[in-house]
Chains A and B, each alone.
Chain A
Amino acid sequence: MNAARGVRSGDLLYPTVALAAGIALWWTLSVALAIPSFLLPSPDEVAAQLVGNPRLYLVNALATVEKVVVGGAVGTAAGFGFGLVVGTIPLARRALYPYLVTVRVLPKIAIAPVLLIYLGTGFTTAVVFVALVTFFPLVVSTAAGLSRTPEPQLDLLRSVNAGPIDTLVRVRLPYALPDVFAGLKQSVTLAVVGAVVAEWVVARRGLGYLILLGMENLRTDIMIAALSVLVVVGLSCYGGVVLCQRAIVRRFPVTGTEP
């Protein structure tokens, strides 16, 4: 109960200790077993790589963030819009919902080569791919969220002849917000995955590309450094959505559905 609200003293301490222990173990292993650094670089080598080339990592991180943000914005906006259609027009829901659920079993990553043929090997392909990956979770969650309004509430609105726009914007959407944010959290995670995959396939920049480059040149230090930056990028994007959610949930607290 309290853990969800406030930060207890151990909440920060224990994970930090665990992280330090992990790095220490890694260090010991790479030194004690004398593993060659092209197989497993020691933590200080990775750190040196990061600190020694700040521009390299910054530029490539920004390239990845750009794809996540642009593709994610397009994909989630389109997904939200489409979710509104599916959630409010019964015919659309009945016709399309089965497919939206079915599409979930398709690994969207498998679409990347297809996009490559249609859109070429540019920035657009990467953005469209990220958009595609983020699109579906938001459609499903928005449509599902719109059905959360209690039936008596809708009867009440009908009894005063509430217009469809009022009903949607003032009642059904606020009730849908927890689901929409659940979808957004899924989307943002997938967006980072999507951006990295896109960079493997088409890009000449970005953290995904850097990892690939590191692999081709047997530079594990670059790969691990890029991976650590990727963790930071992923966490920041996710954190952004969480902050956004907190701000909005404060205005529209729907009981029992707090994060």
Chain B
Amino acid sequence: MIRVEGLTVSFETVTAVEGVDLEVGRGEFLTIVGPSGCGKTTLLHAVGGLQEPTEGRIRIDGEPPGRARDAGRVGLVFQEHTLLPWKTALGNVTFLRRIAGKPPDEPGARRLLDAVGLSGFLEAYPRELSGGMAQRVAIARALHLDADLLLMDEPFGALDEITRDELGVELRDLLRERETTVLFVTHSVPEAVFLGDRCVVLRGTPGRIEGVFDLDLPEPREPSLFTDRTFQEWVGEVRAALYVEASPRR
């Protein structure tokens, strides 16, 4: 579904990512893990059509990312929930769809908020929601666009670990059901391993792909996995790619 070929993105003074090749299949949950400043966000923005590649190209179903964006197929979730403070949970979810120029579907929005466990908070304002709840609203908002590509930039980065694990389990179930393709950027190796069908390690400045891991872990992913030995081994391998092996300089 997504094909990234030789992607390089440079800004005025720095190159954020360099020579990235990547393929993502439909409905795949791809996690991208790497240290700060390795160009994870830039990669995500490029795939979402928010950032023009300096070199290389990106195709989504054979078309440039701008096309997918214009068709409203791309949903974004950030570390900050970016909910509008003057709109309710429901208002925030329906607002973005309306701005995207899609026909209103309030029952759909209600169902989604129900699916993320917020049926009792439709009329709550962001300031009345906890960080985890606000992030659930943000996820519902992205899904309500009927996006089939979800780009998530450290969506759980500001949450405590317990909320984060819970939300991860729920999110994965929800998205597999909907066959949404996900690019999920994170700082956390266990999170990347737990959630990903595959995990990409991005590293260096400019960021290059250090390794891609096929995570053949049992489905559905359940919290018991955190103590599983295979899971721990994968975490170890990904960590090794992140910290230990020096990447060969070209």
Binding site for B on A (CB under 8 A): 150, 152-153, 155-162, 166, 170-171, 174, 251-255
Closest chain A residue to B127 by CB distance?
Answer: A255
Give every chain A residue within 8 A of B69 (Cβ-Cβ). Answer: 159-161
- Contact of B197 with A by CB under 8 A: no
Q: Are B72 and A160 in contact, with the CB atoms below 8 A?
A: yes
**Interface with A: B95-103, B174-182, B219-227, which one?**
B95-103
Give every chain B residue within 8 A of A166 (Cβ-Cβ). Answer: 99
In the complex the two chains form, what is the Cα distance from A79 to B75 in whole Å? 37
- Contact of B48 with A by CB under 8 A: yes
Q: Are B100 and A160 in contact, with the CB atoms below 8 A?
A: yes
Q: Are A174 and B96 in contact, with the CB atoms below 8 A?
A: no
Q: Are A252 and B86 in contact, with the CB atoms below 8 A?
A: yes
7 contacts between A and B (CB under 8 A): A152-B78, A152-B79, A152-B80, A153-B84, A160-B74, A160-B101, A253-B125
Q: Are B82 and A159 in contact, with the CB atoms below 8 A?
A: no
- Contact of B76 with A by CB under 8 A: yes
Within B97-153, which residues are at the interface with A (CB < 8 Å)? 99-101, 125-127, 145
Interface code B151-162, partner A: CB below 8 Å = 1, 0 otherwise?
000000000000
| Minimum C-beta distance from A183 to chain B (A) | 20
Q: Are A162 and B99 in contact, with the CB atoms below 8 A?
A: yes
| Minimum C-beta distance from A189 to chain B (A) | 27
- Contact of B1 with A by CB under 8 A: no
| Minimum C-beta distance from B121 to chain A (A) | 17
Give every chain A residue within 8 A of B48 (Cβ-Cβ). Answer: 159
Q: Are A156 and B70 in contact, with the CB atoms below 8 A?
A: no
- Contact of B3 with A by CB under 8 A: no
Give every chain A residue within 8 A of B187 (Cβ-Cβ). Answer: none
Q: Are A253 and B82 in contact, with the CB atoms below 8 A?
A: no
Closest chain B residue to A171 by CB distance?
Answer: B84
Give every chain A residue within 8 A of B100 (Cβ-Cβ). Answer: 160-162
Beyond A156-B78, A162-B100, A253-B125, 20 extra complex contacts between A and B, CB < 8 Å? A152-B79, A155-B45, A155-B78, A156-B76, A156-B82, A156-B96, A157-B99, A160-B72, A160-B74, A160-B101, A161-B70, A161-B101, A162-B99, A170-B95, A174-B84, A174-B86, A252-B86, A253-B86, A254-B85, A255-B85
Give every chain B residue within 8 A of A162 (Cβ-Cβ). Answer: 99-100
In the complex the two chains form, what is the Cα distance from A153 to B96 in whole Å? 11
Contact partner, A159, options B76, B126, B127, Cβ 8 Å: B76
Give every chain B residue within 8 A of A157 (Cβ-Cβ). Answer: 99
| Minimum C-beta distance from B140 to chain A (A) | 14
| Residue from the set A160, A162, A174 with the largest chain B CB neighbour count within 10 Å | A160
In the complex the two chains form, what is the Cα distance from A255 to B129 in whole Å? 13
Q: Are A155 and B99 in contact, with the CB atoms below 8 A?
A: no
Closest chain A residue to B77 by CB distance?
Answer: A156
In the complex the two chains form, what is the Cα distance from A251 to B85 in whole Å? 10
Give every chain A residue within 8 A of B22 (Cβ-Cβ). Answer: none
Lowest 3 CB-CB distances: which A-B pairs, in order? A160-B100, A252-B86, A152-B78
Q: Are A159 and B86 in contact, with the CB atoms below 8 A?
A: no
Instruction: Using known A-B contacts A162-B100, A170-B99, determine if residue A152 contacts B72 with beta carbons closer than 8 Å.
Output: no
Closest chain B residue to A252 by CB distance?
Answer: B86
Q: Are B99 and A160 in contact, with the CB atoms below 8 A?
A: yes
In the complex the two chains form, what is the Cα distance from A152 to B50 in whole Å? 11
Closest chain B residue to A170 by CB distance?
Answer: B99
In the complex the two chains form, what is the Cα distance from A171 to B49 in whole Å? 21
Q: Are B82 and A150 in contact, with the CB atoms below 8 A?
A: yes
Give every chain A residue within 8 A of B72 (Cβ-Cβ). Answer: 160-161
| Minimum C-beta distance from B243 to chain A (A) | 29
| Minimum C-beta distance from B225 to chain A (A) | 31
Give every chain A residue within 8 A of B99 (Cβ-Cβ). Answer: 157, 160, 162, 166, 170
In the complex the two chains form, what is the Cα distance from A194 to B222 in whole Å? 70
Give every chain B residue within 8 A of A159 (Cβ-Cβ). Answer: 48-50, 69, 74-76
In the complex the two chains form, what is the Cα distance from A153 to B50 in whole Å? 13
Q: Are B82 and A153 in contact, with the CB atoms below 8 A?
A: yes
Q: Are A155 and B101 in contact, with the CB atoms below 8 A?
A: no
Q: Are A253 and B85 in contact, with the CB atoms below 8 A?
A: yes
In the complex the two chains form, what is the Cα distance from A107 to B95 in whole Å? 45
Within B51-68, which residues are at the interface with A (CB < 8 Å)? none
Instruction: Using known A-B contacts A150-B80, A255-B126, A255-B127, determine if residue A158 contacts B50 with beta carbons closer than 8 Å.
Output: yes
In the complex the two chains form, what is the Cα distance from A255 to B126 in whole Å? 9
Q: Are B45 and A160 in contact, with the CB atoms below 8 A?
A: no
